[in-house]
Amino acid sequence: MSVPSPPEIELEPPLRLRTDGAALAACVDALQSVPTAVTAVEAMVVRSTGQGIDYAWLGFVTYHPSRGWERNGLAAEAPGLGAGRRIVVDMPAFADAVRAQVRTTRGRTCTLEWHANGLVVGDRVVAACGATIPPVPEVPAVRDSVYLGGASVGDVTVESEEGRIRIPASLVAHLIQRGAAVAELGILDGDVYVVAQSERRGEMSTDPVIVAPVDLLMWSDESVHSEFQERRRQGGGEVEQLLAALDPKTPVPTLLELLDTGVAYVRRRVAAHPALPTPVSDALATTGTSPMRTAVAANPSLSAAAIELLARDRETPVRVGLAANRAIGPDVVSGLACDPHVDVRTAAAHHPALPADLRARLAEDAAACVRGAVAGNPAAMSEVVLRLTRDDDPAVSRSAAANPACPPAALEALLADMPYAVLANPAAPLALLVDAACSVDGGRRAVVAANPSTPSRVLSALARDPDSRVLRAVATNPGSPAPARRRAEKRMMTDVGEVPAPESVLW
């Protein structure tokens, strides 16, 4: 077929594009490789800051009511491009024209000529059609993610920060067919959308991005879905919700209601509430998105099945949250202590139930933060702490010097090198505390005044100190006698004057 003459009157001059033929064919194949094919595709060309002055982004968008939008594209040479252009054409006709051009050029450069009333691909005309492609929602703040690797073809229900989400079976089947391993969730104007990246297109980087709306459900009766969604959009009462989620005496029905109507951070706090029924926490551990699984991992009332599942979670923050959960036993924390990620090992090193042999092994970890966690753990053996006082990393040695498990003799030897760490140690020898309380260094006196092991008589003397840091430490030390605390507070307001909170004495 010969190339037609351009229309006699065009609203804009023709635009000639040149792009990689094999990549363009891959885009077309991706758009067509679905069980239920679409009949129209929107082609667009827009200037992109990622390309040079003569290059643009050539994109394609399809839409199907049951699976939403798909978009992909590639770079194209577009000299003379002004404003971006869009046109909707017949999908099968466009695909045939692209494949014919690719066969002719043997997969090399493919030429498209953009007219107001259609596209010319090689020597074929693809006329504009009357179909309408709805605009692709630009979903902001995508935070939650759902892994689809083990999903079966059917409705998938997940727990997210925004509420219970149902991904319909038709969309699940499409995502699985596309090879999308992760579905991210985002909110736009109160509605929830799935955003997923296909991972089956191989080497061309033409994997389609899928955007589709999904249903927001409740724990309770779905018949009030619209009312519930409207309440969530309007907001209000977040402070009261948070206080209820933090209250250990909040009854179970209220907790379940907060999972229905609470904002994101309230739902996370509810997930960690110890009174949450086991079936609910199990469901959050099984079907929750990453933030919800991280939150429920801190719940002290987790079932053994949930703990086992969360310990194998692929998301690092989830395993970190579980390793920090003081309710898990030695067997679980031992497994987490061998985790390949440094943050998980660090959290495990802080855990009081970690067996002594594993804590000693973590004391030799290559990561300084892991060794530092062991150095500051009061459950560590004294010989391990003593060894860590000589660590090459100053932060690790200071943590060891502040550990009550550090031998008193070692503290005396370390005083000259790290006085603040030693004097903050609750196990510091009394003679060191008394001497430092008489020091000309206000910082040392402040550290002694904040130490919970400092004797009452010393704190009473420090309540007359002229340094505001010392007075504030006495006033906030729970071991200070009431008269000493009142005297320090009064002096801060009168003799010393009301001053802003001083910087904490850092090691």
Do both 231 and 210 map to the same domain? Answer: no
User: Structure pTM?
Assistant: 0.70
Tokens for 213, please give them.
């709306």
How many CB atoms are closer than 10 A to CB 396?
A: 23
Flag whether 322 is in a domain: no
Q: Hey, which residues does 202 pair with through a beta bridge?
A: none
How many CB atoms are closer than 10 A to CB 476?
A: 13
What's the rounded Cα separation, in Å, for the pair 5 and 1? 12
The answer to whether the CB of 361 falls within 8 A of the CB of 369 is no
Do both 422 and 400 map to the same domain? Answer: no
Q: Classify residue 393 by its DSSP letter.
A: S
Do both 386 and 417 map to the same domain? Answer: no
At residue 15, the pLDDT reads: 85
The answer to whether the CB of 470 falls within 8 A of the CB of 491 is no
Do both 383 and 431 map to the same domain? Answer: no
**CATH number of the domain within which 118 lies:** 3.10.150.10
What's the rounded Cα separation, in Å, for the pair 27 and 205? 9
C-alpha triplet 93, 30, 18: angle, nearest 5°: 65
What's the rounded Cα separation, in Å, for the pair 363 and 379? 13
Range of the domain at 96: 15-127
> pLDDT by residue (tens digit) across 335-385?
999 999 999 999 999 999 999 999 999 999 999 999 999 999 999 999 999
Q: What residues contact residue 138 under an 8 Å CB cut-off, 6+ apart?
A: 188
At residue 102, the pLDDT reads: 86
At residue 10, the pLDDT reads: 45
At residue 505, the pLDDT reads: 40
Flag whether 433 is in a domain: yes
Flag whether 8 is in a domain: no
Q: Which residue has the tokens 């466009």?
A: 94
Residues comprising the chain, all counted: 507
C-alpha triplet 237, 241, 246: angle, nearest 5°: 150
Question: Burial code of 86-109, b = ≥16 C-beta within 10 A, e = fewer?
Answer: ebbbbbebbbebbbebbeeeeeee
At residue 497, the pLDDT reads: 44
Residues (pLDDT < 50) of the chain are: 1-11, 200-205, 218-229, 231-234, 497-507
At residue 199, the pLDDT reads: 60
Helix locations, 225-354, DSSP H: 225-234, 238-246, 252-261, 264-271, 278-287, 290-296, 304-311, 316-323, 330-337, 342-350
Helix, coil or strand: residue 39: coil
At residue 228, the pLDDT reads: 45
Do both 27 and 83 map to the same domain? Answer: yes
Closest CA to 135 of 92, 175, 88: 88
Long-range contacts of 390-398 (CB under 8 A, 24+ apart): 393/368, 395/368, 396/368, 396/371, 396/372, 398/507
At residue 75, the pLDDT reads: 85
User: Please, what is the angle between helix 225-234 and helix 252-261, to 10°?
Assistant: 80
At residue 49, the pLDDT reads: 62
Question: What is the residue type of 452?
Answer: P
Last residue of a domain, one of 172, 190, 217: 217
At residue 176, the pLDDT reads: 78
At residue 500, the pLDDT reads: 42
Number of domains in the chain: 5
At residue 150, the pLDDT reads: 56
Greatest alpha-carbon pair distance for the chain in Å reads 103
Flag whether 138 is in a domain: no
Last residue of a domain, one of 102, 127, 152: 127
